[in-house]
Amino acid sequence: MKKSAVIKKICFYVVFILLLLLFLYPFYLVLLNSLKTNKEVILDSLALPQALNFEGYQKAFEKMNYLQSFGNSLIVTSLSIFLLVIIAAMCAYLFARKNWKINNIIFMVMVASMIIPFQTIMIPIVKNFSAFDLTDNLFAVVFFYLGAHVSLAVFMYHGFIKNIPYELEEAARIDGCGQLGILFRIIFPMLKPITSTIVILDVLAIWNDFLLPFILLYKNSLKTLPLMTYSFVGQYSTDYSLVTAGLVLTILPIIILYLFLQKQIIEGVSQGAIK
Amino acid sequence: MKKKLLCVFMAATMLLGMTACGGGSDDGNASGGSAASTENTADALGKTKITVYLGGDAADENQKIVDIYNEQSETTEVELVTLTEGSSGYEMLTVMYNAGNPPTVYFMEAGDVLKLTDKLMDVSSLEAVQYANAGTTEDVTVDGALYGVPANIQAYGLMYNKQVLADVMGADFDPQSITTREQLEDVFQKVQEAGIAPVAISPFDWNLGNHWFTQIYTGQSETAEERDAFVNGLKDGSSNLVENEVFNDYMDTFDLLMEYNYYKENPLETVADGNEKQAQLLSTGQTAFWFHGNWATVNIRTLDETGEYGFIPVPVGEGNPNAGKICTLVPGYYCVEKSTTTEAQQQAAMEFVNWLIMSEEGQQYVIDCGNIPAYSNNTAEITESVSQSAVSYTAEGKNFPMYVKTPSDHATNVGSAMQKYLAGESDRAALAEEISVYWATQK
Amino acid sequence: MKSSKIKNVVSFLVFAGPAVTVFFLVIILAFINGIQLTFTDWNGLSDTYQYIGFRNYADAFADTAFWTSLLRTFQYVVCVVVFTNIIAFLIAYFLTRGYKGQGFFRVAFFTPNLIGGVILGIVWKFVFSEVFVQLGRKYEIGIFQSNWLSSPDTAFLALVVVAVWQLAGYLMLIYMAGIISVPKDVLEAAKLDGAVGFRGIRHIVLPLIMPSITIATFMSVKTAFMAYDVNLSLTNGGPFQSTELVAMRVYNKAFQAEQYGVGQTEALILFVIVAVISIIQVSITKKREVEA
């Protein structure tokens, strides 16, 4: 019994460490090549750098207007997520608790809308937004993300709220709590696990999104980080050392953010399990 | 507090919703915005603001030339924009037009310029136009109006590494002495015996479909009318590709290149990559020839700053009008937008374009980007050996223009047919058939 | 009676109002405009267009290249959905069993999702054409001797590998949330009843995490059908258009072939097909949730 447990343990670590290498190898390659000169990259992309070369980072930092684009991304992402979580939770709460026809219809429409290919609504969206002079406006981008991501968030909240026993609300109602009060005082705290999941998934989607900011933001001073990276990669596509350095600079903040959020999400998930 | 915030937000959303619905009815025409609002077109100093897309790979050079202009211009402020999505930038331009926000000046391929004529200024009045090289403006002239001025010229043919040929063939070997397939095969054999792969074929669809295959259209005749007639014949089925002499002539040469291809074992090996792989082969002396153009100088110079390279024409039969000539093309034209811009912006844009071509700095800019000037008054010295080689042909009129009146999906469709041929998945008859079918669907 | 109806309307406006409003203004409005454009001959750029009835639909149904790429996309979706879900579930299962360092593994496996698709495509292209080929030649590993992206079958496989690699970490989180929420005593009881190993997984764990399965399958079906970014930057449809998935086909039709109306129509057909499949899938798995 004990021996087989040890063997199991060894198998686990062997398999998972191999998997881990497979998963992380591409990142290692990007990091490695960002520290080489362009010539070194072209001649042998696997070799170690002859000397550490940080020139690419310095140039990429400047050319990408790094701090400003970082700030733009931060504003768009955090504002979108904050509003998204509130409106989606409210909507899902109503849909989960009231079995009205209109709720079911809208819910189905929302689910169906998740499979609309973005390319097909890209041109109409540009036309609609520009008709109201909403291009080159960070808040217009936020508005778009609310519309585009709300259906998935409602869908996820909906499934979760349905599993929360109705009796909990009854008690609060007897205590004289209004519906909004019930939602935000009683239900919302219980949604923490799914909220963390929604937050992390949407943070990633919005932070990394390229096509939408690309078609709505033209001024360099308003561009988000991935947008600057892509145009940077496009312009310097033949300079691999520069491109990889740009990629590392783009990925870095999200990795740091992720390490931070990962703790929250695991906490949230285990809290959900205790319930 | 939470409730209040919520109310404010909701009210705002509703309001936005209502205004959006109220204004949503006037959707009759397709263009997003009309004239740009005037407040955006002039800054505090009274300078006219224009946005410019210059195309090309040389991002640093583009920024530099714009900075120089802004420094010396007292009336105009130029902002550089980039259109990175899509290879030609045309897709992104479509999006920007729908947003009512296209660049004031932009760089576009001839085929795309022709789709945009109703939105573009006639630039024939520019001083620079009179200096444009022969054959560089016809493709974007419609009913006497000129919709763009050529940015520069590019050339392609069989590029060679001079050092490799000198090592194999002897120092006094003149690559230009190769004019027939037999002579080329002879050189190929000697190169192969020296343990070097004779030639590299880039397997990209744009390279095979647009650069190689369009030679067959131009090879039909000396005159543009008869070339068009041949292509129109492909559309209505009256031109027979498989029995066409020029088609077979070019495919014979292609067979020869395939036979001595560096990638003979797996011809599509680098199909998903860029051309830097072949640039590396040529510059490190792993191949002697490469069917490609001067735009690859950027890649070659990363690896080899001093080596000498040049072109020879693709060898074809004697009766072929393209024999002994290299192919030249105008990669893009500078166009001036008129449908969303103010008159002041149009004026400023015209001045900027003219300056770009006429000024000393603008002429040097063409050279710095590794390109070949398209204007006879450009006196900047060409130091790049690839460009020098190309100019030695164009100066004697030994060049033919690339056929550009192809649909935008020509590269994808004809290119894939050529890829199958290259990979040995189809023979010449099947290739001709596939390309004929493609053309038959074009109206 | 009446007052309760008013109350319902008010609570609908308060609770669902903001979400429904933004949703309709952004997505549905654009979608309807898109449908309208399928009846026109608009080329994507001109100021005017004509209504041409159902001609775009006739063209779309006659476009064999579209149906070929749709069929290819079906194969792709099946491969991606099956492999991703199995791998994601297994990873999630083993990472919730209390081995040391599982938190670290979790973080690591999710990392591919931190980066946008186009960038991932660029990175993997580098891996396939440089690293694998170099390794294959050095150690004479048959399957890596030639570039995977250079022939239709292996290029297709490469697309699947990258999709699985990226999506597995994402679905892993969904499955983990499900597995953790399975009460410990249920598992203990099952163990005492002799339901261990794969039998335990099949009869105890899977039924209890049906909600996770619903979401994970839905996400993977949807993502696989919509695949565009990686397709673009990894193979760009090549060699000879053999890996052109349907989203790319539609996009190229609209913008490259300048048949915006036909492209838009094909996109609509794609939407209907995916909608039908998803609705069937969600209703089947949802039903099982209720039973479990």
pLDDT tier at C229 (50, 70, 90 boundaries)?
confident
The CATH code of the domain at B155-329+400-440 is 3.40.190.10
Assign domain B10-20+31-153+330-375 to a CATH class.
Answer: alpha beta
Q: Any CB–CB contact under 8 A between C276 and chain A? A: no
Q: Any CB–CB contact under 8 A between A210 and chain C? A: yes
Residue C264 in any domain: the answer is yes
What total number of domains does chain C contain?
Answer: 1
Residue A25 in any domain: the answer is no
Looking at per-residue confidence, does B14 or B165 come out higher? B165
Q: Any CB–CB contact under 8 A between C19 and chain B? A: no
Q: Any CB–CB contact under 8 A between C49 and chain B? A: yes
In CATH, what number is assigned to the domain containing residue A86? 1.10.3720.10
Distance CA A265, CA C269 (A): 38
Closest partner residue to A151 (CB to CB) among C23, C180, C278 is C23
pLDDT tier at B19 (50, 70, 90 boundaries)?
very low
Inter-chain Cβ pairs, chain A and chain C, closer than 8 A: 215
What pLDDT score does C272 carry?
87
Secondary structure of residue B427 in the 3-state scheme = coil
In CATH, what number is assigned to the domain containing residue C95? 1.10.3720.10
Domains B10-20+31-153+330-375 and B155-329+400-440 share a fold: yes
> Which residues on chain B are in Cβ contact (under 8 Å) with C25?
16-17, 20-21
Residue B369 has what DSSP assignment?
T
What pLDDT score does C279 carry?
81
Residue C182 in any domain: the answer is yes
Q: Any CB–CB contact under 8 A between B22 and chain A? A: no
B87-124 pLDDT tens trace: 567 877 887 888 788 899 999 888 888 888 889 999 99
> What sign does the CA torsion over C177, C182, C187, C193 have?
negative
* Chain B interface test: which of A235, A237, A242 (most B C-beta within 10 Å): A235
Q: Residues A142-155: what's their mean pLDDT?
A: 89
Domain ranges across chain B: 10-20+31-153+330-375, 155-329+400-440
Give the ipTM of the model, two decimals please.
0.81
Closest partner residue to C238 (CB to CB) among B24, B31, B272 is B272
B253-282 pLDDT tens trace: 999 999 999 999 889 888 887 788 899 899
- Domain containing A206 equals 68-231
Q: Any CB–CB contact under 8 A between B33 and chain C? A: no
* Cα nearest neighbour of A25 on chain C: C127
Distance CA B40, CA B49 (A): 8
What global pTM score does this model have?
0.81
What pLDDT score does B424 carry?
92
**Which whole-number Å values give the CA distances from B110 to B128, B151, B378, C11, C166, in the listed order?**
18, 11, 22, 58, 40
Q: Residues A179-201: what's their mean pLDDT?
A: 79
Say if residue B122 is exposed, middle or buried (CB neighbours under 10 Å; 0-12, 13-18, 19+): middle
Distance CA A90, CA C14 (A): 8
What pLDDT score does B314 carry?
95
Query: Taking an 8 Å Cβ-Cβ cutoff, which residues of chain A contact chain B?
Result: 38-39, 42-43, 63, 83, 86, 122-123, 126-133, 135-136, 143, 180, 184, 211, 214-216, 218, 220, 230-231, 233-239
* Cα nearest neighbour of C126 on chain B: B273
* Cα nearest neighbour of A130 on chain B: B99
Residue A148 in any domain: the answer is yes
Say if residue C6 is exposed, middle or buried (CB neighbours under 10 Å; 0-12, 13-18, 19+): exposed
Residue C97 sits at φ, ψ, to 5 deg, of: -105, 10
Q: Residues A63-83: what's their mean pLDDT?
A: 89
DSSP string, A108-135: HHHHHHTTS-HHHHHHHHHHHHHHTT-S
What total number of domains does chain A contain?
Answer: 1
Place of tokens 């129109």: B232
Q: Which amino acid is at B131?
A: Y
